[in-house]
Structure formats: C-alpha cells, structure tokens
Structure 1
Amino acid sequence: MKNVLLVDDHSIVRQGLKNLIALEADLTVTGEAGSGLEAIKMVRANQYDIVVLDISMPDKNGVDTLHDLKHVAPSLPVLILSGYGESQYALNLIRNGCKGYLSKDADSDEIIKAIRTIANGKRYISAELAELMSEQLSHPSEKQLHETLSDREFQVFFKLSSGLSATEIGEELNISVKTVSTYRSRILEKMSLKTNADLTYYAIKNGLIT
C-alpha cells in the first residue's frame, strides 16, 4: 500500500482526488495539506510514498514547496497536478525535481496511473510532456525564455513577476537582498528583459501567473 499526501488549497479538489484514490487497492491517502507550509510540516513528521502537489497556493507556492521538499526529503517523489498546462511549467519543474506533471484536466485514469508509477519509484511522462521534451531536443533554440533559468533563478523569477520586492524575496528564501539582486540581474540578462515590469508582462503573457 502506497501512502499519498495531497497538497492543494481547495478542499473540493483534495476530496475529489481522495475519492478517486480510494477506489484503488494499492493506494491510500494518509495526509492532506492546504498549503505549502503545512505540507513541509507533514513531510517532516510522517512517511509518504508520493506527494501530489498543486502550484497555486497561499503562503508558499508549489514552486517553492517543491524546492523545499528536495531538501527536507530528497528521495520523496512529487507529482505536480496543476491547473496550468504542461507547456507553461512542466519542463522547468521536471528539471527542478518533480517526477511527473499533469494538468488537472487529465483523465482520472491517467492521474491514477501517474500516481502509481511515481509512487513505485519511476518517472511519469505524459504524452503532452513527451512532445514538449521531443520538441526541445529537436529545436533547443526554440525553448521559452523561462525554461533557460536554473532552479533558484526560476524561483526568484516567479516571485519578482508576482510583484514581490527584493527584501520580501530575501526573507522568504533566507538569502540576502544583494543575492536576490544578483539573481535578478542574471534572470533579466538570460531573458533579454530590462525591468521587473517586463518580467510580470512576460509571466502574464505566457500564462505563468494570472
């Protein structure tokens, strides 16, 4: 029996997933969290075989939560189940440590297949993600600008584009304002942008924030 931790700020989504997983003999939901901070606390205190994680959450978004989980429980696999499509986040988050990425629009059978595959120690690549990866290999110069960012750069980019100041980002990530400024400079250079407003516009245009 594989133990599943569901992390989503919408209780109706968690309940729907819980009902779906309850139909499976080899999977069981043994934890639910409504925020990233709650998820980190639960992982510190309990044993899980997989985390099913949303991106858009209060207090600590899924990008930050994934980053923290890599340090708290490096061997714990994560499936991102998000309202955002694969083309927006999947490649970045796969590169940054998650074992699979699915849109919440995916069929229930595929969601269960992904959870089971990842809980058993394998990576799950959806048809959409496989196509994205194939396109990137075939045309590496055509990857989106945010896909060129490192793990921490993507984290800082996400926060800058959401309107957080360097001081706020430094406090959230436990790094100095100077370090945030260094990351900001790298991000702007890699993405050929000039201001935080440009980052926000890019993120909205590409559906990374709403």
Structure 2
Amino acid sequence: MVNSTNKRRILLVDDHGIVRSGMRSLIELEDDLEVTAEAASGMEALQLIRKQDFDIVLLDISMPDKNGVDTLRDMQRIKPELAVLILSGYAEELYALNLIRSGCRGYLSKDADPSEIIKAIRTICNGRRYVSVELADLLANELIKPSDKRMHEMLSEREFQVFYKLASGKSPTDIANELFLSVKTVSTYRARVLEKMNLKTNADLTYYAIKNELIN
C-alpha cells in the first residue's frame, strides 16, 4: 500500500491514554510524521498491523493483556519487516539488550528527551537502528566484559520470554497456551532458565525480577 501523504505512519501502543496523547501531540509538531492509529493493548496492536500498514510501531513493555515482550515477538512473526521502537518506563539496562535480540530497532526510556524520541523515529524509519548513548554503553560493556552481564541478559529470546512469564506468576500450562508450546517444552525452558540464573524456584525468579525492577 502506497503512503500518499509521504508522511511516516506511526502506530502508538500504550495502555495509558495520557501517554498516547502526549506522544501524539509531540509527533504532530513534525511535518514528516503522522500517528495513523493507536492501541491500548498488545492484542489490539496485533489486530491493527494485520489490517493496516505502518512505517514504525512505538511499543510499551508493561501492558495488561499481552506484554510488549510477547507483542514484539508476534509482530515479528506477522510482519517481519515492520520496524519497532520500544518506548518504555523501564531503563535501558533492564530490557534493551534482550529486546534488541528479539528484533526491535531501538529502545528508549519514556523520560528520554522529546528531540531524541523524534530522532529515533526518523532514524529507524530510514532503515537503521537507533542506539542511544545508554544502549551504546551497554553494548560496549557486553563486548568488553561479557561476564559482567546480568543473569537475565544471558538468556535466549525464548528463555527470556518464559522467564518473564514465570516471574509474573503464570503457570507452565498458561505459558504453554500463550506461546503455543507443550507443557513439557515449557518445563524444559524453565529448567534451563533456573540453571543459567543459578536459581531454584519460581519464587526465586519473581524475587529476582522485582529486585531488578523487571516487573512491578
């Protein structure tokens, strides 16, 4: 589908209306950018990308029905070429490395300067990744001192997804249904996660996630 306006088409995904309103107001100041749709949940976002074309998705992580980790993975499956910028209330050091591995083109904290958000949108729409100063430091540290990585940063994409759900209190059966896996497969991933993170129980995973501010 041709974009007749020549403006970059943006989908805003955040469960807080005031955040979407603020982002829309910011973007509407730019002549080359346009918010063409909004979604208050991951499920709503997936429905929209099936029906409409977007140049970029601005995606939150913490949402009630389907978190941004799962939503990003499903977006990659439905439209692999779709560019996604994670715009989250969580700082870069908490999620950025895992989500970059999962396919997002950039990661910014919501308290980033408005000019940097606009710069990131334009950079990604032009086919490049956006690497903030904070993310650049994380990537550099990973190359220089890989042993200094946090335990959750050593997980694979799927392991991190299972870890996040277990830490949030979901059962293996629920996780299996959500990820279209068998319960046995989920249990295998759980065992790998516990071993890699040197933890013993789901309660340990939850404590780790809370302590590291990965969940509220």
- In the superposition, the TM-score normalised over structure 2's length comes to 0.96
Query: How many angstroms apart in 1 are the aligned matches of 2:17 and 2:123?
Result: 25
Of 142, 151, 155, which residue of structure 2 is paired with 1:149? 155
Of 194, 197, 201, which residue of structure 1 is paired with 2:200? 194
Match of 1:50 in 2: 56
- Tell me the secondary structure at the aligned position of residue 80 of structure 2: coil
Query: How many angstroms apart in 2 are the aligned matches of 1:18 and 1:186?
Result: 42
Identity across aligned pairs (percent)?
A: 67
Match of 1:23 in 2: 29
Query: How many angstroms apart in 2 are the aligned matches of 1:135 and 1:71?
Result: 30
Query: How many angstroms apart in 2 are the aligned matches of 1:150 and 1:132?
Result: 17
Q: CA deviation at 1:95?
A: 1.1
Query: How many angstroms apart in 1 are the aligned matches of 2:135 and 2:186?
Result: 31
Aligned amino acid, residue 51 of structure 2:
A
Of 176, 179, 193, which residue of structure 2 is paired with 1:170? 176
Query: How many angstroms apart in 2 are the aligned matches of 1:121 and 1:49?
Result: 10
Match of 2:126 in 1: 120
Match of 2:3 in 1: none
C-alpha offsets along residues 116-146 of structure 1, whole Å, 9 cap, x if unaligned? 1111111000000001111111101110110
- Tell me the secondary structure at the aligned position of residue 47 of structure 1: coil
Of 171, 174, 189, which residue of structure 2 is paired with 1:183? 189
- The answer to whether 1:83 aligns with 2:93 is no
Q: Calculate the aligned-residue CA RMSD, in Å.
A: 0.6
Q: CA deviation at 1:173?
A: 1.0
What does 1:31-50 correspond to in 2, within 5 Å? 31-50=37-56
Query: How many angstroms apart in 2 are the aligned matches of 1:156 and 1:24?
Result: 39
Of 7, 31, 38, which residue of structure 1 is paired with 2:13? 7
Match of 1:130 in 2: 136
Query: How many angstroms apart in 2 are the aligned matches of 1:114 and 1:184?
Result: 35
Query: How many angstroms apart in 1 are the aligned matches of 2:21 and 2:159?
Result: 34
What is the number of equivalent residue pairs in this alignment?
210
Q: CA deviation at 1:42?
A: 0.3
Aligned amino acid, residue 206 of structure 1:
N
Query: How many angstroms apart in 2 are the aligned matches of 1:149 and 1:85?
Result: 19
Q: Where in structure 1 are there 5+ consecutive unaligned residues?
A: none
Q: Where in structure 2 are there 5+ consecutive unaligned residues?
A: 1-6
Query: How many angstroms apart in 1 are the aligned matches of 2:123 and 2:72?
Result: 19
